[in-house]
């Protein structure tokens, strides 16, 4: 059985009442992957904005496997120290990683964030030397449109991320850079300029699905991007 672990920040954990891109990708994998697979991770909850804490189980679809390693306000900086134990205990085979916006916005510059990417990958492989990883660059968001210096940091980090992926990729533990959705528009695909709505969830899920299909022949092309 192939075990997938979503890893991310607020766009990945989602908040109360949402489906999340994790669910959209899980639907796709269930329909197209030729073999048993499951989602894994040490956490299960959504973020509750009223409680200001990750305490909600109010998923829009309550019956899908909700395990993950994602946190509101957490980035590469926070996940690097946690990833080895998470991979070890969940026996993950594939990491689906969407991180970076929080780091650049609050904690580290582009170069420091890229160093945390390298630490994350190194630590993850200590738990599973054959681990596969798919990494999504920082996608368009409202802060980058409004703040030129932040936009420059995002662009630089995405370049450094691509270099890190190329440097760290190896045959026994493939590291794959997903292509951000070309038609992702935070005016249409988010509810607040950052966090995905239904169409955004599909497009993020599609980015991961297309990367795995094209590089590793996992599943089929994603067919639901932009739907409800």
Q: CATH no. for residue 182?
A: 3.40.50.1110
What mean pLDDT is predicted for residues 187-208? 97
pLDDT at 224: 65
- How many structural domains is the chain composed of? 1
Asked whether residue 17 is domain-assigned, the answer is yes
Asked whether residue 227 is domain-assigned, the answer is no
Asked whether residue 110 is domain-assigned, the answer is yes
What mean pLDDT is predicted for residues 135-143? 97
What mean pLDDT is predicted for residues 45-69? 96
Cα–Cα dist 83/85, whole Å: 6
Name the percent of the chain lying above pLDDT 70: 98
Asked whether residue 63 is domain-assigned, the answer is yes
Report whether 178 contacts 158 (CB < 8 A): no
- Domain coverage including residue 46: 2-216
b/e 111-148 (16+ beta carbons within 10 angstroms → b): eebbbbbebbbebbbebbeebbbbbbbbbbbeebeeee
pLDDT at 227: 55
Cα–Cα dist 19/13, whole Å: 10
Asked whether residue 169 is domain-assigned, the answer is yes
pLDDT, tens digit (0-9, with 9 covering 90-100), for 5-22: 999 999 999 999 999 999
Cα–Cα dist 77/68, whole Å: 17
Asked whether residue 12 is domain-assigned, the answer is yes
What mean pLDDT is predicted for residues 85-97? 98
Asked whether residue 132 is domain-assigned, the answer is yes
């Amino acid at each position: 059985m192939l075990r997938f672990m979503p890893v991310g920040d607020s766009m990945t954990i989602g908040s109360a009442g949402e489906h999340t891109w994790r669910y959209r990708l899980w639907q796709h994998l269930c329909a197209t992957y030729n073999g048993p697979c499951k989602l894994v991770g040490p956490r299960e909850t959504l973020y509750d904005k009223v409680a200001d804490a990750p305490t909600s189980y109010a998923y829009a679809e309550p019956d899908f496997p909700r395990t993950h390693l994602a946190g509101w306000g957490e980035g590469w900086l926070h996940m690097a120290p946690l990833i080895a134990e998470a991979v070890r205990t969940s026996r993950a085979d594939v990491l689906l990683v969407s991180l970076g916006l929080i780091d650049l916005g609050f904690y580290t510059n582009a170069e420091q964030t890229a160093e945390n990417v390298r630490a994350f990958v190194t630590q993850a492989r200590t738990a599973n030397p054959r681990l596969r990883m798919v990494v999504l660059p920082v996608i368009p968001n409202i802060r980058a449109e409004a703040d030129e210096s932040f936009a420059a940091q995002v662009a630089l980090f995405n370049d450094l991320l691509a270099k890190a992926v190329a440097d760290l990729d190896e045959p026994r533990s493939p590291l794959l850079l997903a292509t951000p959705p070309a038609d992702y528009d935070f005016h249409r695909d988010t509810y607040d300029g950052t966090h995905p709505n239904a169409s955004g969830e599909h497009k993020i899920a599609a980015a991961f699905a297309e990367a795995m299909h094209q590089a590793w022949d996992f599943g089929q092309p994603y067919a639901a991007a932009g739907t409800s």
